[in-house]
Amino acid sequence: MRFFCLALSTGLLVAGCTVGSAPDLDIDEGEQAGEVVASQHTPERALAFSQLWPNEFSRDDLIGTAQSKMHPYFEARIDTDCDRKLNIVFEESDSTDEDVTILGESILKVFCDDLPNDIWLVVGEYGFLQSVVIQNELRSDSFGGVCGTEEPPSGGCALYDTGWVQRQGVRRDWIPGIAAHELFHVVQDSISPDPPSWSLSSTDPLSVPIWVVEGSANFFQASMKDYLGIEKYQAAPEERYCELQPGWRGGIDLKSVEDSWSNKTYDLGQFATEYLVANYGFEEFLDLWRLRDEGMGFAEAFSMKFDISLDEFYELVSQISLLPSGEQEAKKLDSECETGLQHDEVEKGRTGAGVENDGTNAGWCGLFRETQTGEWWNNCPEIPVQLGAEENSDHGYPTTFSEIPIIDDCSEIESIGFDIRGWAASFSARETSGASQAFVSTAHYSKNYHLDVNGDGVICSSQAPED
């Protein structure tokens, strides 16, 4: 289980190399994928990476060096004559379908030797995915899908040999990347299928840290799009986290995102994957799953492939000092960012000792930093519902005040996580409002309670709209 998140007028279309179609779905055979055209630019290793494990470099140096390893890796495999098949099923047509198909076919060729079975990619609503699973007798979770939960995340997920991409409510230009992200999870699971990493406790030696699983999928999809010339390699904007800003001296704490599904896990994991690949290469990175398939624990495999223990790697990453990239000028970090607060909050002037509400967020309390611990929401008389002790469902997101972004409207909720379908202040508020898909978090609701226009104790839920 992994989260992320050309229909004809007469029916559906399976694109790419196809096998038998669903018996009760009107599915026509699709055209072969478009011609693969490799990127015209040639990334180069940065001087900083002429030595192993440098700790001063720019993000551009890091990305360029990692891509100087990825492009040859792809080039050596992109023309593989693969006897596996990729089945792509689109619920409806879209301008991104060609890029999705090219990416899918390329992934099939590059990883053909790692795929024991034909693979599937379904783009559409989750109910449509479930119908494809049933009709084609695909392996599924206990809910008849591929997300491991009854309610799927908002972006996509993958399980066994099948990846799924949600189209409704997802930015169109994100769809190809999500497709590549989820198919890379299929590759991970194909290399080391048992036991499924997602089913293990984080303390199990065979469990793979979430920053590795999700960060590498982010890295891979950006690398593949860069190689194919679909889109230049994209990393998370440095403004999103203090840790990724040039001049930050607070360190990057990878251990804190070993068992977290927050966006921070994805982005810091992508950075760490870049660092590993830039130093050693992508084949060595994939060997982590191959060794796991032989029964070796993750920490032991990591030490074997990278000649450094996992804890030593965490210490190395914590000491990295990012330099400005290219023409970018070094800028002084805000003092609040130096203490670990989210940069986007700092820019909006909403945090820090004694900072008054600047009017851009009418509901925020302007709490003193000293009170931003414990049940701080009880110091906010403007919150429209009565709160007491903290309540949380099993959402997996950090609840420390400084780690929760403030958002201006619900369209920005994906800056926190792709699988969020609302925040409820309490279990009681969730039940009363009927927002059964919303996560419960007193802290997340309270940090953004200005969005609770109708005062029902729930924000950003389509099941409990504000109007």
pLDDT per residue over 291-305, tens digit each? Answer: 999 999 999 999 999
340: left (phi over 0), alpha (psi -120 to 50) or beta: left
Instruction: Give the chain's end-to-end CA distance (angstroms, integer).
Output: 35
Per-residue confidence (pLDDT) for residue 344, from 0 to 100: 40
Indicate the SS3 state at residue 254: coil
Q: What is the mean pLDDT of residues 200-213?
A: 91
pLDDT per residue over 432-446, tens digit each? Answer: 999 999 999 998 998
Q: Which residues of 221-250 are buried (b: 16+ CB within 10 A; e: fewer)?
A: bbbbbbbbebbebebbebebbbbbbbebee
Structure tokens at 432: 């009363």
- Higher-scoring residue by pLDDT: 420, 306: 306
pLDDT per residue over 143-185, tens digit each? Answer: 999 988 887 877 899 999 999 999 887 888 899 999 999 999 9
From CA 348, how far away is CA 341, in angstroms rounded? Answer: 12
pLDDT per residue over 317-326, tens digit each? Answer: 999 999 988 7
Q: Which residue from 193, 216, 195, 190 is spatially nearest to 206, judged by alpha carbons?
A: 195
In this structure, the number of other CB atoms found within 10 A of the CB of residue 344 comes to 17
From CA 39, how far away is CA 41, in angstroms rounded? Answer: 6
Per-residue confidence (pLDDT) for residue 229, from 0 to 100: 94
- 309 pLDDT above the threshold of 90: yes
The one-letter amino acid code at 429 reads A
Confidence at 233, pLDDT banded by 50, 70, 90: very high
Q: What is the mean pLDDT of residues 411-434?
A: 88
Structural domains of the chain sorted by starting position, each given as residue range(s) with its CATH number in brackets: 2-322 (1.10.390), 353-459 (no CATH)
The one-letter amino acid code at 240 reads R
Average pLDDT, the chain: 81
Share of the chain above pLDDT 70, in %: 79
Confidence at 358, pLDDT banded by 50, 70, 90: very low
- Higher-scoring residue by pLDDT: 182, 379: 182
